[in-house]
Structure 1
Amino acid sequence: MTAPVPLPFSEPAYLTGAPNPYYSPSHLAWQKACRAFITANLTTHALDWERAEEVPPSVFDTFSAAHMLIPALPGPLPIAWLKRLGIHTLLGGLPVEEFDYMHFLIHADEMARSGLAGPGASLTTGMAYGVPPIIKYGSKELQERVLPDLLMGRARACIAITEPGAGSDVAGIEATAVRSEDGGEYVVNGQKKWITNGIWANYATTAVRTGGPGPGGLSLLLISLQSPGVTLRKLAVTGMATSGTTFITLEDVRVPISNLIGAEGQGMKMIMTNFNHERLSIAIATTRQARVAVSSALEYVLAREAFGKALVEQAVVRHRLAKVGARVESQWAWVESVAWRMRQGEADMGGVLALVKASAGMVLAEAASTAVVLLGGNGLTRSGRGELVERIYRDVPGAVVPGGSEDVMLDLGVRELVKNYRKAIRKLEAGSKL
């Protein structure tokens, strides 16, 4: 049940009645529909599922039946495909052609409202990152073959980029795809590691090396994970116990040439485009986790007494909450503005998205650490009053590393901003010479 008066820091300002230029009546109605559905089918059970380290498979079916995984796709949605499949509206009657990046923002925020990254990621990661390259770059034949099942939830996908020796350095990928003698297949060999949702996916949108070294030798290939030569092994990682993190081994896996996504050698471009959506997704969910950590800490210090009065009456406690709460609200304002810019179709967003993703991880780290300190011993305990905060603290690395590690994102962000600045200067100088 939603509290009649939300705790400070517990909700974005637009949900507390503050005016906001980004949200139309369509967005506000969508938020209410998302809140009701996701609360009933995910949020209220998320902690129990994270304890059990498994989200029941029936939950994926529930979300698929309600078409509530489709909003994890980038906006605008693949309208023609959805209407072919009989999907004309989303939850609450939202026409699919009206869906934009602000609707996506709302859905992603609500999916993380439990404060735990794993349960939501177990449902949406494949749709969010594995399917878009097929929609954007896949051949008509490939789309006809796989998209109906993927969009309807009859099959699941994952994105398989990272390898044991190549994480943020995508250009260092070593998995190879060599054409067979008859030219009809690729023979794939290599390993993929830390692949979210891989353990239960039917397909992996996979980065492979079809050419020489460096980014120009990379391609994307859709690999059936039921193929001979594919081995899947679930990995135990810090936090996100329910997300299905997987080690994939590919040994002489034969893949039809028609499963090539886009053209050979264009893999890096497609991966970078896909990363933009992934990094915004992570930033949204991570900021919500930070919000949950701060509001949980505030709830605790309002009730907890020490030295004869509530902890919130201690100036040092208020000071800690003020600093981290301000950072959360600032981060959310940035996330909103970036989502709005994505909605407007702004180009050259790679640098900004790298920075907003890195910043979100830093904010979560501060929020989780502050919450643990304020909860004291409870914040260190994997049960009882501080269990949620302790689990959020363990989720921090899962926000900082995937999608491009923090240091790499900070460097990439500035490099991209400088590149765009210099390009604009050159354009201005060229115009002045006309």
Structure 2
Amino acid sequence: MKPPTPFSDPPALCGLPSPYYTPSHVAWRKACRSFIDQNLTVHAMDWEREGAVPEHVFHTFAASNMLVPSLPAPLPVGWLKRLGIHHVLNTVKVEDWDYIHTAIYTDEMTRSGLQGPAASLTTGFSYAIPPILKFGSQQLQERSLPDLLLGKKRVCIAITEPNTGSDVAGVQTTATKTPDGKHYMVNGTKKWITNGIWSSYATMAVRTSGPGPSGLSLLLVPLLNYPGVSMRKIKVAGHLTSGTTFIELDEVKVPVENLIGQEGQGMKYIMTNFNHERLTLAIAVTRQARVALAAAFDYCLQREAFGKTLMEQPVVRHRLAKAGALLESQWAWIEQFVYQMTKLGKLEADVELGGLTALAKAQAGIVLDECARCAVLLFGGNGFTTSGRGEIAERIYRDVPGARIPGGSEDVMLDLAVRQLVKNYQNKTKALERPQGSSKL
């Protein structure tokens, strides 16, 4: 059996010991890879060329409960069992699921090296359903979750607007109650909304009162074929199959019962939701970097120039080594990070790891940029061509901005990370101070 190309898989899959993976994780990786290879990975490049993932793929994944792993861990066991979902691929019971299982799934879903095909399937489960599960009323959950969790209807997350990206507090889409108090009238626009074009609903950030974060709320807004809603796909540089959408909302009438949680708490809900989004993005993006670098490594072993292979050129080895060190360091950090998620409660993880999640997401984009650029340069003209031997490098390099901007743009993430670390440090320092007027330590 041919040994794995260097950098092509995480060290634990290349025979090296790891403290993180139990027999359950190993069995899950095997079952997960087999299913995803057959139903996604082998077709991903063709679908990316065509610009669309066939609708039946979503239903195939849903029927096998293979969209459920996109949800944050631990899984919503009560709801899943009510709907007859007791395990995933007959391998992991839903009550035994942890964040390492989630990381394995996210890593495998991007093993084609392309973000678009996976994002076309998982975005709604990953980012739009969790707020309903965590903060939605029982009545809203009963009306929406059965169809959403079983994949009978699709949902997207709609935060970003033409003039509001990482500055979530600047959302301008309004939701104003009707005089009888029974409905919200929603007006505004949403842009760069992944999966929007196929979604029956959006978990949407809306402004229900004055300016700033205290005026934001979350609302489950009907989309497909709903009065007042207009949607069209947007052409973007990468993620060609992810259904990036522009949404216009003109006097869209939404029942007040579709409010998620409480009015004015939207910013809190969104920030909590971002942690899962950013961590899964970091995992997927690091796999993309791995695919790019491994493809370049293989090519350099075969391609000859100036009478010898590229791999025999010191400058080439230096470039691969530099990118490889960044890649494996990033993956080691992610594994450590995910392990910590299995040991911390949700509230503690949000405090201790919230800022670091932003940093991990930002760093993943930086590592992808280095690895993808390295691959394109080593592939030479083939890496600048949209077909042939270097196509995978060209495609991944095109996806780089999609790693560094969505989910919180890189500079904002770097700043957020340090601000959160400073806040935690100051809070812990203050907790150690002697109470005024007390002799107690």
Give the alignment's TM-score, normalised by structure 2. Answer: 0.97
User: Quick one: which amino acid aligns to residue 56 of structure 1?
Assistant: P
Distance in 2 (CA, whole Å) between partners of 1:66 and 1:376 is: 41
RMSD (Å), alpha carbons: 1.0
Instruction: Give 1:4 deviation, angstroms.
Output: 3.7
Quote the residue 2:68 is aligned against. 70
Quote the residue 1:61 is aligned against. 59
Aligned with 1:417 (options 412, 421, 436) = 421
Distance in 1 (CA, whole Å) between partners of 2:416 and 2:247 is: 28
SS of equivalent residue, structure 1 residue 42 = helix
Distance in 1 (CA, whole Å) between partners of 2:212 and 2:8 is: 45
Distance in 2 (CA, whole Å) between partners of 1:392 and 1:317 is: 20
Q: Provide Cα deviations, 1:43-71, integer angstroms capped at 9, x if missing partner.
A: 00000000000000010011000000000
Distance in 2 (CA, whole Å) between partners of 1:210 and 1:4 is: 60
Quote the residue 2:113 is aligned against. 115
Quote the residue 1:406 is aligned against. 410
Aligned with 2:369 (options 333, 358, 365) = 365
Instruction: Give 1:433 deviation, angstroms.
Output: 4.4
Any residues of structure 2 matched to 1:31-50 within 5 Å, and which?
31-50=29-48
Aligned with 1:11 (options 9, 14, 28) = 9
Quote the residue 1:386 is aligned against. 390
Distance in 1 (CA, whole Å) between partners of 2:209 and 2:340 is: 35
User: Quick one: which amino acid aligns to residue 260 of structure 1?
Assistant: L
1:397 aligns with 2:401: yes
Instruction: Give 1:18 deviation, angstroms.
Output: 1.2
Distance in 1 (CA, whole Å) between partners of 2:385 and 2:319 is: 21
Instruction: Give 1:429 deviation, angstroms.
Output: 1.4
Give the alignment's TM-score, normalised by structure 1. Answer: 0.98
Distance in 2 (CA, whole Å) between partners of 1:374 and 1:149 is: 47
Q: Provide Cα deviations, 1:364-421, integer angstroms capped at 9, x if missing partner.
A: 0011101000000000000101111100000000000000000000000000001001
Instruction: Give 1:303 deviation, angstroms.
Output: 0.5
1:356 aligns with 2:339: no
User: Quick one: which amino acid aligns to residue 409 of structure 1?
Assistant: M
- Is the CA contact 1:197–1:246 (under 8 Å) kept in the aligned structure 2? yes
Distance in 1 (CA, whole Å) between partners of 2:290 and 2:92 is: 27
- Is the CA contact 2:160–2:192 (under 8 Å) kept in the aligned structure 1? yes
Distance in 1 (CA, whole Å) between partners of 2:95 and 2:274 is: 24
Q: Provide Cα deviations, 1:218-257, integer angstroms capped at 9, x if missing partner.
A: 0000001032100011000011110000000010001000
User: Quick one: which amino acid aligns to residue 264 of structure 2?
Assistant: G
Instruction: Give 1:430 deviation, angstroms.
Output: 4.2
Quote the residue 2:187 is aligned against. 189
Any residues of structure 2 matched to 1:25-174 within 5 Å, and which?
25-174=23-172
Instruction: Give 1:93 deviation, angstroms.
Output: 2.5
Q: Provide Cα deviations, 1:185-240, integer angstroms capped at 9, x if missing partner.
A: 00000000000000001110000000111001000000010321000110000111
Give me the identity figure in percent: 64
Classify 1:52/1:430 alpha carbon distance in 2 versus 1 (closer, same or farther; 3 Å): farther
SS of equivalent residue, structure 2 residue 162 = coil
Distance in 2 (CA, whole Å) between partners of 1:94 and 1:23 is: 14
Quote the residue 1:305 is aligned against. 304
SS of equivalent residue, structure 1 residue 190 = strand
Distance in 1 (CA, whole Å) between partners of 2:59 and 2:66 is: 10
Instruction: Give 1:92 deviation, angstroms.
Output: 3.6
SS of equivalent residue, structure 1 residue 384 = coil
- Is the CA contact 1:305–1:311 (under 8 Å) kept in the aligned structure 2? yes
SS of equivalent residue, structure 1 residue 385 = coil
Q: Provide Cα deviations, 1:64-113, integer angstroms capped at 9, x if missing partner.
A: 00000000000000000000011111114210001111000000000000
Distance in 2 (CA, whole Å) between partners of 1:347 and 1:294 is: 32
Distance in 1 (CA, whole Å) between partners of 2:297 and 2:378 is: 9
- Is the CA contact 1:30–1:92 (under 8 Å) kept in the aligned structure 2? no
User: Quick one: which amino acid aligns to residue 296 of structure 1?
Assistant: A
Quote the residue 2:272 is aligned against. 273
User: Quick one: which amino acid aligns to residue 342 of structure 2?
Assistant: R
- Is the CA contact 1:29–1:92 (under 8 Å) kept in the aligned structure 2? no
Distance in 2 (CA, whole Å) between partners of 1:5 and 1:123 is: 32
User: Quick one: which amino acid aligns to residue 316 of structure 1?
Assistant: V
Deviation >2 Å, runs of 4+? 430-434
**371-380 vs 13-22, which moves further:** 13-22
SS of equivalent residue, structure 2 residue 390 = helix
Distance in 2 (CA, whole Å) between partners of 1:282 and 1:400 is: 10
Segments of 5+ residues of structure 1 without an aligned counterpart are none
Distance in 2 (CA, whole Å) between partners of 1:163 and 1:433 is: 52
Distance in 1 (CA, whole Å) between partners of 2:2 and 2:63 is: 31
Distance in 1 (CA, whole Å) between partners of 2:156 and 2:70 is: 13
Any residues of structure 2 matched to 1:210-225 within 5 Å, and which?
210-225=208-223
SS of equivalent residue, structure 1 residue 178 = strand
Distance in 1 (CA, whole Å) between partners of 2:340 and 2:229 is: 40
Quote the residue 1:324 is aligned against. 323
SS of equivalent residue, structure 1 residue 80 = helix
- Is the CA contact 1:74–1:101 (under 8 Å) kept in the aligned structure 2? yes
- Is the CA contact 2:27–2:91 (under 8 Å) kept in the aligned structure 1? no
Classify 1:40/1:212 alpha carbon distance in 2 versus 1 (closer, same or farther; 3 Å): same
User: Quick one: which amino acid aligns to residue 85 of structure 1?
Assistant: L
SS of equivalent residue, structure 1 residue 426 = helix
Distance in 1 (CA, whole Å) between partners of 2:72 and 2:65 is: 15
